[in-house]
Structure 1
Amino acid sequence: VEMTVELITPIALEVGQRFAIREGGRTVGAGAITTITE
């Protein structure tokens, strides 16, 4: 699955960094950053 995300608050990210998507205290998704677009 591919997706594009726009963050509300700017944070430092690096290609290869792993992340989790949480909703209501539960993890509903996880992945890794493959590209960063400006």
Structure 2
Amino acid sequence: EMVMPGDNITMEVELIAPIAMEQGLRFAIREGGRTVGAGVVASIIA
């Protein structure tokens, strides 16, 4: 699925390494040194 600037999506992510997170945490998705997305943790499911 392709997402364009201004779109809102919901996604479920499995991290490759453990990291402390909490609801409301802001995060960035980076690829090759470039920020390609950003978001907020809506809920913790596991």
Q: When the two structures are superposed, what TM-score results if normalisation uses the length of structure 2?
A: 0.80
Q: Which runs of 5+ in 2 are unaligned?
A: 1-8
Q: Which runs of 5+ in 1 are unaligned?
A: none
Runs of 4+ in 1 over 3 A off after TM superposition: none
**Residue 3 of structure 1, CA deviation:** 0.2
- Counterparts of 2:14 and 2:37 in 1: how far apart (Å)? 16
Answer 1 or 2: which has greater strand percent.
1
- Counterparts of 1:25 and 1:3 in 2: how far apart (Å)? 22
The aligned residue for residue 34 of structure 1 is 42
Q: When the two structures are superposed, what TM-score results if normalisation uses the length of structure 1?
A: 0.95
Q: Note the 1:1-38 alignment, pairs <5 A.
A: 1-38=9-46
The count of residues paired between Structure 1 and Structure 2 equals: 38
Greater RCO structure (CA 8 Å; 6+ sep): 1
